[in-house]
Every structure is written in C-alpha cells, then in structure tokens.
Amino acid sequence: MKPKDLNKIIFAASVSVLVLVSGWGYFYVVVSQKFLIKTTINCDPAVEACFYDSQSFYKYTLMSAEDYGLCSARDDCYDFCRTGNCRITYCTEDEVEEGETCTGPEEFNI
C-alpha cells in the first residue's frame, strides 16, 4: 500500500470518527435533553426559607431539561416540583449568592 493511500484512509477514518462523536454529542445534549437546568420558582417567606433579591422571594430548583420543558410549557413549575420531579433548594446561609439574602418565617414572627 502506498503512503498516499494510507494517508487518505487515516484522514477518512478521522473525519468519520469526528462526525460520529459530534452527532452523538448533539443527540445526547439537544435531542434527549440529558442536562440539568437551575431555575427559580415562587416562594412564600411566611412558611419557608426563601431567597430575596430586593424584587422577589424565590427558591431554586434543579431539574432535567426535559422536565423543564414540560413545566415551563404549562407555566407551572411550582406545582410540577411539588410532585417530586425536581430538587428544591431553600435558602440557607451556605446557599446565598452575592446580592441575595435569606428570609423566612422567623422574620415574620410566625
């Protein structure tokens, strides 16, 4: 086999592997939505520890992109998360980011 032919075979094999890996990555992330989304939902500071950022009270949720697509289409991620399809993060001093504060029932004297 000539070296020129060997180079063509190696190039073709490399391109084929690159196309297969890219296609698999696209399918895995975009089509099957196998990644997590961190978003916020409403929070009632009278009954639970909430994050507050001078505009609203909220808590964080972590859910799969597929589940987020389902609940955001109905504009009802709060009830969706109550069924246990996502992880809810209530405010604690460890979870507070810059510009946020924690507030909860103790601030409302309940």
DSSP state of 107: G
Q: What is the mean pLDDT of the chain?
A: 82
Question: CA angle 26-29-30, nearest 5°?
Answer: 70
pLDDT of residue 108: 60
| Best mean pLDDT range from 26-40, 50-64, 69-83 | 50-64
- Report the pLDDT value the prediction gives residue 110, as an integer from 0 to 100: 47
Per-residue pLDDT tens for 19-55?
999 988 888 777 766 788 888 888 888 888 999 888 8
State pTM to two decimals.
0.62
What pLDDT was estimated at residue 18? 94
pLDDT digits (tens, 9 = 90+) for 15-28: 999 999 998 888 87
Q: What is the distance of C-alpha 35 from the center of its chain? A: 6
Instruction: Determine phi and psi for 15, rounding to 5 degrees.
Output: -65, -40
Give the end-to-end CA distance of the chain in Å, rounded to a whole number: 84
Reference 50, options 86, 87, 92, 82; nearest CA is 92
